[in-house]
Amino acid sequence: MSTDTASAPLFRYAAVTFDCADPVELSNFYGEMFGLSVAYTSDDFVFLGGKDGAPGLGFNRLADYRPPTWPDPAQEKQAHIEVGVDDLEAAEARLLELGATKPEAQPQPDRWRVLLDPAGHPFCITTLV
């Protein structure tokens, strides 16, 4: 690995974008979860921006979107995010109120909880981060 950074481009994390059937619905869910507001919107895309240029989240309409079927491998989860929380029980309850669902499969529920967002994407909440 080269240590010469004089001509290397600089990279910074900007966002993760989720494919979904309804970008407004999904952005509302994550906006409430993280306290992010809409920075850009179009008919097929919503971007939630963080404060002071912090990374954000994007939501892209996909006409033939098929939600992941985790833990069934028929339509793998593809990717998921880990969300740090102070209290698993309280965080889970709040996210269920916002529209998340909780699948029966919970690999290590004492360490983290797997939830599904309104479009079916799995994500985890944990006190470990």
Mean pLDDT per 10-residue segment, the chain (129 residues): 64 82 97 93 91 83 90 79 91 96 93 93 86
Q: How many C-beta atoms surround the C-beta of residue 48 within 10 A?
A: 24
The runs of H, that is alpha helices, within 14-112 are: 23-34, 88-98
DSSP letter at 87 equals -
Query: How high is the pLDDT of residue 70?
Result: 84
Indicate the SS3 state at residue 62: coil
The rounded distance, in Å, linking the Cα atoms of 77 and 68 is 5
The rounded distance, in Å, linking the Cα atoms of 37 and 35 is 7
Query: How high is the pLDDT of residue 18?
Result: 93
Query: How high is the pLDDT of residue 11?
Result: 62
Verdict on whether the full-model pTM lies above 0.95? no
Query: How high is the pLDDT of residue 69?
Result: 87
The rounded distance, in Å, linking the Cα atoms of 88 and 81 is 16
Indicate the SS3 state at residue 58: strand
Query: How high is the pLDDT of residue 128?
Result: 80
